Structure 1
Amino acid sequence: MTDVTSLTPDFIVGQAGRLEIRMTRPGENSTTSLASDSPQKWVVLSHPHPQFGGTMNNKVVTTMEKTFQSLGYGTLAYNFRGVGESEGTYDGGRGEQQDLYDVVRWLRESANLSELVLAGFSFGSYIVLKQADQIQPTAICTVAPPVSMYDFSDIEPTMPWYLIQGGQDEVIDAREVLDWAMQIKKQPDVFWRAEASHFFHRQLIWLKKILITTFEK
């Protein structure tokens, strides 16, 4: 196993070619110092829809990224195939699921993970939910999952799941998201912000507080 403290890659190899990543090691941007032998908590972050300007630089993704870093997590954000400097082309969600799987596989081979959270925003939430049973993370965190745009009928996560949704979402039908989540056998913990839009304009501080409350240990 490679010592992840020595890794500073900009790319990893995926099925469709190289994938652009941004990685911060556990504790690097934490508000408290961590011992070198502390458990390695990591979060992998998946971004919004590639065909509508979604990248790992999206402000909701970077807010989540920085918040998890402040809690001592290692973070790995990445661009789906065909986005930024990632090779390949958009594949309707199928290839993007493979991208997430490839990123997590590389991380597991490169680091001694004690905890793995899969986090996604919008389209990234769909990818996370579709791959959750295959990857088996410690927990998942989804923001504004696009229930009205994709088939979510076969999604039944078995691990702890935190769902964050804005009531004024102009992209996703917020009530449809809530109705769907309440019909699932293992329901998520839902955090609802009535005045928040899809991109959480002027609500990112609230989003940060929710993540801190949920994942601070």
Structure 2
Amino acid sequence: MPEVIFPGPEGRLEGRYHPQRSNDAPIAIVLHPHPQFGGTMNNKVVYNLHYAFHQLGFTVLRFNFRGVGRSQGEYDQGIGELSDAASALDYLQSLNTNAKHCWVAGFSFGAWIGMQLLMRRPEITGFISVSPPANMYDFSFLAPCPSSGLVINGSADRVAPPADTRSLVGKLHEQKGITITHVEMEGAGHFFEDPHMEPMIGTVKDYVARRLTETTR
């Protein structure tokens, strides 16, 4: 899988790019957890999400936010990181101008950034939000949420308590025209440590595969 360096708002951003042979393959970006708490694009959840999308036929990009790894710049409270995500999507789209579908997946802090990107980019047709930290960040910008997606969290999450995630999903359910699928995995923590990683990724793959089938009918 090629390492890539592409331009971001504050300098170079480092990523991993995994293309398909087909030039009209769907595309996805995967966003990592909080940079100040050890989050990188090689986080286990992010890595597994990346490969899940690739196995489903997507061309995939994951990358390090500013100040992480070889990405230039420094942490910017989520504001700059949202700009980084937009630049990453621009880069991915520039290499895949015939892509039929565009998805964003994010884990924890990355889920928050991904949902904000969703609001700004109408071409995003689906999202995966893993362990969204609804207790730490304001998700009220999702009014209305522009596309359907999957929210998945663990019942034993001590970082982002399940009650806050349920409350977030409840607000999204009230909106018309989209379908939010919510899966709370029994016994799983914030990071989906084994034995929960494999079933979590399986749930994501089943959901994305079903959505792709629906759109090609």
Distance 1:215 1:50 in 2: 27
1:174 and 2:162 matched: yes
1:134 and 2:123 matched: no
Counterpart in the other structure of 1:33: none
Distance 2:28 2:34 in 1: 19
Q: Is the 8 A contact 1:26 1:41 kept in 2?
A: no
1:26, distance to aligned residue in structure 2 (A): 2.0
1:9, distance to aligned residue in structure 2 (A): 5.5
In structure 2, stretches of 5+ residues that fail to align are none
Counterpart in the other structure of 2:207: 214
Q: State the Cα deviation string for residues 116-173 of structure 1 (Å, max 9, x = none).
A: 1100000000001112121120111100111111111222321111101111002111
Task: Give 4+ residue runs of structure 1 displaced > 6 Å after superposition.
Answer: none
| Amino acid aligned to 1:176 | D
1:73 to 48, 58, 65: 58
| Amino acid aligned to 1:67 | A
Q: State the Cα deviation string for residues 169-208 of structure 1 (Å, max 9, x = none).
A: 0211111111121122335110110210000011111012
1:13 and 2:7 matched: yes
Distance 2:138 2:10 in 1: 24
1:150 to 107, 115, 137: 137
1:47, distance to aligned residue in structure 2 (A): 0.2
2:104 to 96, 118, 123: 118
1:52 and 2:37 matched: yes
- The TM-score with structure 1 as length reference comes to 0.89
- The TM-score with structure 2 as length reference comes to 0.89
Q: Is the 8 A contact 2:35 2:65 kept in 1?
A: yes
Q: State the Cα deviation string for residues 55-88 of structure 1 (Å, max 9, x = none).
A: 0000001111111111111110000000000000
Distance 1:210 1:179 in 2: 21
| Amino acid aligned to 2:197 | L
Q: Is the 8 A contact 2:128 2:204 kept in 1?
A: no
Q: Is the 8 A contact 1:125 1:143 kept in 2?
A: yes
Distance 1:201 1:41 in 2: 29
In structure 1, stretches of 5+ residues that fail to align are 1-6, 28-35
Q: CA RMSD in A?
A: 1.5
Q: Is the 8 A contact 2:31 2:106 kept in 1?
A: yes
- Secondary structure in structure 1 of the residue aligned to 2:50: helix
1:192 and 2:184 matched: yes
Counterpart in the other structure of 2:198: 205
